[in-house]
Amino acid sequence: MVSKQTRFWILIGLVTISGFSQGMLLPLLAVILEQNGTSSSVNGLHATGLYIGILISSPFMERPLQRLGYKPMIMLGGALVFVSLALFPFWQALWFWFMLRVTIGIGDQILHFGTQTWITATSAKESRGKSIAYYGLFFSLGFTIGPLMTNLLDISLFAPFLISAALSLVVWLGMLRVRNEMPEKDHTTAYGTSSIKRFSRAIKLSWVAFLPPLTYGFMEATLHGIFPVYGMRIGHEVKILSLIIPCFAAASLFSQIPLGALSDRIGRRKVILTVVGGGTLAFLLAAFFEHSIVWLFVTFALAGLCVGSLFSLGISYMTDLLPKELLPAGNILCGMAFSVGSILGPFLSGTFLDLFPGLSFFYIIVGLLVIVGVATAFSREERATNAPQTT
């Protein structure tokens, strides 16, 4: 069996592959469906399958974790992902691909719930933010590399799916050497109460911590799904846009660990407010200079450095605010918040473009960041006993 440190990196490897598969599927299936003559509206609706899978599975995660432990949950989620990826090339039916997307969403949620809860439950208080920052860093790394698999379509339709499935399987096999652990007793004491009460209490205590994951999901889906449409409308070429978009996730790779470590020292709320302010400024600059390719590269990178870490910062903040028995519920709610933001982002942004064609696309992101910043600044913070002390 492996050491605790090795186990941590195996979990991080699974998270990386999960980000890789998600980052691959969004543009890859969009291109394939477009080439097959699928309408843009159906294409966009089809893309929600992943997040629908996350949402419908989220309320049912806690009890299996209590009964089975971390390892079986994570292995089940990983298996659903790599098997679904391998099935894509063999039947090109729209409804079948949608069901595979939903299944991958379910598998990803199981995998993320197991890894998040295991990491948050076993990380030392003084380094929790840094540990979870690694989680966000490697998910972003995978998400950044994933879209490159679209280029393999020139070789074969089978290639990107089968290569991704094979990589997922290789990392998944590493879990065979990990010893299973059950959640600590104080992680399961809340199971005797109803799910509604647990989730309600978690929301009451840490609602502000769910805003960063929701915001990150909103931005990620909007920048990948709607910005290319807006960019073409204002005269930019598709090839240039495909290079600009990854700058957001790529830049976040450089700030995840420093921001996580900084939040351990000075507190999550201060860091979240700072990065939200920086992200607001970056997207305002993008709105003012959106016709300049150079400025779009710069502002996307600046935004990624700031708000590209919101998901991991939100998880760390949630872990600070909730008692240990509510951490499983909190991890589920973080995933659900991300999914809600991912579903709402393209819909609201697309509606915004239709209603206000004369305004910059970036203003809707600025508006969301302002709301989140104000809500965070004026929220009442009650720290759980497992929160790190700030200086």
Give me the residue spans of the domains in the chain: 1-178, 194-391
Domains 1-178 and 194-391 share a fold: yes
Task: Say if residue 91 is exposed, middle or buried (CB neighbours under 10 Å; 0-12, 13-18, 19+).
Answer: exposed
Structure tokens at 154: 């020139």
- The predicted-structure confidence for 319-363, as pLDDT tens digits, reads as follows 889 887 788 788 888 888 988 898 888 778 877 877 888 888 899
Q: What are phi and psi of 49, to 5 degrees?
A: -55, -40
What kind of fold does domain 1-178 have according to CATH? Growth Hormone; Chain: A; (1.20.1250)
- The correct CATH number of 194-391 out of 3.40.50.300, 1.20.1250.20, 3.30.1300.10, 1.10.4030.10 is 1.20.1250.20
Q: What is the mean pLDDT of residues 153-182?
A: 87
d(CA 85, CA 289): 39
Closest to 61 in 3D by CA, of 138, 115, 122: 115
- The predicted-structure confidence for 46-103, as pLDDT tens digits, reads as follows 777 888 888 888 778 778 888 888 889 999 999 999 899 999 888 888 889 999 999 9
Secondary element (H or E) of residue 160:
helix 158-173
- The predicted-structure confidence for 21-46, as pLDDT tens digits, reads as follows 887 887 778 777 767 777 656 766 77
pLDDT of residue 28: 79
d(CA 114, CA 131): 15
Closest to 336 in 3D by CA, of 315, 357, 306, 353: 315
